[in-house]
Amino acid sequence: MTTTLWIIVGIGVAIIVWAIYTYNRLITFRFRAHEGLSDIDVQLKRRYNLIPNLVNAVKGYMQHEKSVLEGVTEARTRAMQSGGSPIDKTEQENILSSTLKTLFAVAENYPDLKANANFLDLQRELADTENKIQASRRFYNTTVRDLNTKIQSFPPNLIARIFKFSEEKFFEVDNEAERESVQVKF
């Protein structure tokens, strides 16, 4: 074989190795994005399981705040029943978050409730869950960013087009009120 033929074979092998590597990276990003969505689902399920316990702990103290408790329960039910991916359920999740904030704001008026160990534990667990949901959403968005960057970048976009990789949507907050800073008043 001549040197030219070896060079052509070497370039061909390099292109094939690069294509395999790029395809595998795209697959990795796709699975990480799916993992991120699954993590969000896990944390939302945890939140749904905690809410009835929290409501039951508060019920005894807040008999005349029945509408707040009913609102939390209804929002939880709507969020659990909303179909589609977690991204599609964002609006219902935002409503649920708002009703939980209302519940905690109302609970501030009950000193005995605020001192109750069960309520405090549940409140801490729910806050921890909310933090985990946010971390899962950040992980998902980071992975989607990496996948979408690869899909749009040259030359990996050639492999992405051949194997029909499509861009994923970012998890975004649609409710403008959710974007505003929280005001804490004592």
pLDDT value at residue 116? 66
Give 175: exposed, middle or buried? Use CB within 10 Å, 0-12, 13-18, 19+: middle
Domain-located, residue 136:
yes
SS3 category, 2? coil
pLDDT value at residue 88? 66
Cα separation, 85 vs 40, in Å, equals 10
Cα separation, 175 vs 105, in Å, equals 20
pLDDT value at residue 101? 77
Domain-located, residue 180:
no
Q: Which two tokens stand for residue 61?
A: 């103290």
Each residue of 69-122: pLDDT tens digit?
A: 778 888 888 887 877 666 667 777 778 887 877 777 777 766 665 556 766 777
- This prediction has a pTM of 0.64
Domain-located, residue 181:
no
Cα separation, 92 vs 79, in Å, equals 5
Would the CA dihedral through 69, 126, 182, 168 be positive or negative? Answer: negative
Domain-located, residue 74:
yes
Range of the domain at 37: 3-175
Dmax (CA) of the chain:
91
DSSP summary character for residue 64: G
Average pLDDT across each block of 10 residues of the chain; the chain has 186 residues. List them in order: 89 94 92 88 84 73 67 81 71 79 72 64 82 88 91 91 89 59 39
Question: Using an 8 Å Cβ cutoff, are 160 and 39 in contact?
Answer: no
DSSP summary character for residue 166: -
Residue at 112: amino acid letter: D
Cα separation, 113 vs 104, in Å, equals 11
pLDDT value at residue 22? 92
Instruction: Count up the domains in the chain and report the number.
Output: 1
> Which CATH number goes with the domain that contains 160?
1.20.1440.20
